[in-house]
Copies of this chain bind each other. A is one copy, B any other.
Amino acid sequence: MSERFHIGGLAKRTGRSVHTIRWYETQGLIPRVERDGGGRRVYEPDHVEHLIFLDRMRRTGMSVAEMRRLTSLGLAGWRTLPERQALLLALRARVEERIHELQAARTLIDEKVGYYDQWARQKKRPPPLPAVPTAARARAAP
């Protein structure tokens, strides 16, 4: 059970389109793709892992350029482990920041919805909200 498959199989296994997979390859995001007798691309389970991982990173804010870097570092073996870690940790910092930003936005949305509630009940526009969410103000000037 060597478990090798063509591009359609990879597409099915990873949820990406065959177009996207070929495009990823031109972008240097998929290493070591072999061909069969007829010139078709042949993949194995490692490729599935790699693509799923890249996809999760991409949806998390990693650019194609960074995915390319990560992929090529992967090809270069264990000596590049520190750089791969650094790349991931930089992404982690961005993720952390983004989570905070989204949490602040959620607070702002809640305040705006509450403001609209008040407006609807009073049938008159209440005094404007401050532009910055309550929590941020509390943190900034306690």
Interface flags for A96-119 (1: CB within 8 Å of B; 0: not) read 101101110110111011001101
A77: min CB distance to chain B, Å: 10
The answer to whether B102 touches A98, judged by C-beta atoms less than 8 angstroms apart, is: yes
A84 contacts the other chain (CB 8 A): yes
Range, interface on chain A: 35 or more
CA–CA, A85 and B113, complex, Å? 6
The answer to whether A78 touches B120, judged by C-beta atoms less than 8 angstroms apart, is: yes
Contacts known (A49-B128, A99-B99); A89 close to B113, Cβ less than 8 A: yes
A19 contacts the other chain (CB 8 A): no
The answer to whether B81 touches A120, judged by C-beta atoms less than 8 angstroms apart, is: yes
Among A110, A112, A119, residue most surrounded by chain B Cβ atoms (within 10 Å): A112
The answer to whether B120 touches A82, judged by C-beta atoms less than 8 angstroms apart, is: yes
| Complex partner residue of A113 from B59, B88, B128, CB under 8 angstroms | B88
